[in-house]
Amino acid sequence: MQTMLGITDFYRVDELLTDEQRLTRDTMRRFVDREILPHVGRWWLDGTFPTDLVPKLGALGVYGANLPADYGCAGLDNVAYGLLMQELERADSGIRSFASVQGALVMYPIYAYGSEEQRRAYLPLLASGEIIGCFGLTEPSAGSDPAAMTTRARRTAKGWSITGNKMWITSGSLSQIAIIWARDDEDRIRGFIVPTDTPGFAAHDIHTKASMRASATSELVLEDVEVSTDAELPKAVGLGRALGCLTQARYGIAWGALGAAVACFEEALDYAKGRIAFQRPIAATQIIQERLVNMLTRITTGQLLALRLGQMKDAGTMTYPQVSMAKRNNVRLALEIAREARSILGGYGITLEYHAIRHMTNLESVDTYEGTYDIHTLIVGREITGLAAFGE
């Protein structure tokens, strides 16, 4: 089979994929080329998330694609799921983020910690994109350390009353449901499915972003939001449950970031071959060649890391420190490649006529969210030394 990936598949990783994985990727690739790439620069500049994409991505089976078909999901393996994230982020990290949150942070906790009634009620609607969800863990004063959260869930005669603020919430203002993490009366962290039209719930978009502009990012305000016991995710008790969702999302990000890296590398290579300076293409200079070789080497190592991680996830042996290593490595390599690409494009690189600067500023967010680069250093550091360098 002819690879569609060309030079960015330097180690012929394509040959390690199944026909179904290749088909999934190639279908997504064509959709991204046709429906997203021609418009994404404009969406980003305007600061709008393209909501008309939501049902189209649902029809392609993107949301929760690695969850079982019984609940209206695509039932793909984790490598195929990773390839979907990679293709989406080749277009824009914000569009991939939307899909990551819907699948890994909203559908996954309902699937893993919800009752059978909750699964049947919500998963098919989320899979098709008929409803949108968001995930509220971070607070204005509790990001890297979510255990410091102050949002409270108090028991009432009919269920729960939730009060608190959540910050930096992807898709917050677009959502019909929010997965909200809060402390109960016994100080245990619990997860709830909160309908966003419940009185006392408000979402305010953050409009001053210089990153992730084709994505809605909101502050959530919950003031005595009364929900019934049906809102409680029965198995979502303890911080570990919230962190378990992050493992799913970080897995997808480790793949997704490679898509942004490939887009930047291809753009820089193409430009360097055509750009003449000192009577020769800049690609014929040693410095530009070294930079391109470094970029492609890092992409190749990232691809091998992601593929092996996916194989371990499918085998049920993947651990969360392994996910941290891949998220940390692949996002940072993508960010550095985007910066290199931006620089190779010279002055043109600061415009949105090219993709590099959009990817570059988006990747600053990706490097920060889902655990900052530093936090993943500490997670892997704790794993290899047995000593925690954060907290008590």
Q: Which residues bind ligand TGC (CB under 6 A)?
A: 97, 100-101, 135, 137-138, 144-147, 170, 239-240, 243-244, 246-247, 249, 320, 369-371, 375, 379, 390-391
Active-site residue (options: 35, 130, 370, 392)? 370
Q: How far is the CB of 324 from ligand TGC (least distance, A)?
A: 7
Q: Known catalytic residue: 336?
A: no
> What is the 3 state secondary structure string of the chain?
CCCCCHHHCCCCHHHHCCHHHHHHHHHHHHHHHHHHCCCHHHHHHHCCCCCCHHHHHHHCCCCCCCCCHHHCCCCCCHHHHHHHHHHHHHHCHHHHHHHHHHHHHHHHHHHHHCCHHHHHHHHHHHHHCCCCEEEECCECCECCCHHHCCCEEEECCCEEEEEEEEEEEECHHHCCEEEEEEECCCCCEEEEEEECCCCCEEEEECCCCCCCCCCCEEEEEEEEEEEEHHHEEEEEECHHHHHHHHHHHHHHHHHHHHHHHHHHHHHHHHHHHHCEECCEEHHHCHHHHHHHHHHHHHHHHHHHHHHHHHHHHHHCCCCHHHHHHHHHHHHHHHHHHHHHHHHHCHHHHHCCCCCHHHHHHHHHHHHHCCCCHHHHHHHHHHHHHCCCCCCC
**Which positions lie near ligand FAD, rule CB under 6 A?**
101, 134-138, 143-144, 168-170, 212, 217, 365, 368-370, 372, 374-375, 390
Residue sitting closest to ligand TGC (CB): 240
Q: Which lies closer to ligand FAD via its Cβ, residue 138 or residue 329?
A: 138
Q: Which lies closer to ligand FAD via its Cβ, residue 177 or residue 272?
A: 177
Please name which of 224, 132, 226 lies closest in space to residue 170, comparing C-alpha atoms: 132
- Binding at 345: pick from ligand FAD, ligand TGC, none (beta carbon under 5-8 Å per type): none
Q: How far is the CB of 365 from ligand FAD (least distance, A)?
A: 4
Q: Which lies closer to ligand FAD via its Cβ, residue 118 or residue 165?
A: 165
- Binding at 247: pick from ligand TGC, ligand FAD, none (beta carbon under 5-8 Å per type): ligand TGC
- Binding at 283: pick from ligand TGC, ligand FAD, none (beta carbon under 5-8 Å per type): none
Q: Which lies closer to ligand TGC via its Cβ, residue 118 or residue 362?
A: 362
- Binding at 111: pick from ligand TGC, ligand FAD, none (beta carbon under 5-8 Å per type): none
Q: Which lies closer to ligand TGC via its Cβ, residue 138 or residue 175?
A: 138
Q: How far is the CB of 361 from ligand FAD (least distance, A)?
A: 11
Q: How far is the CB of 147 from ligand TGC (least distance, A)?
A: 4
Q: How far is the CB of 240 from ligand TGC (least distance, A)?
A: 3
- Binding at 212: pick from ligand FAD, ligand TGC, none (beta carbon under 5-8 Å per type): ligand FAD
Residue positions annotated with a catalytic role: 370
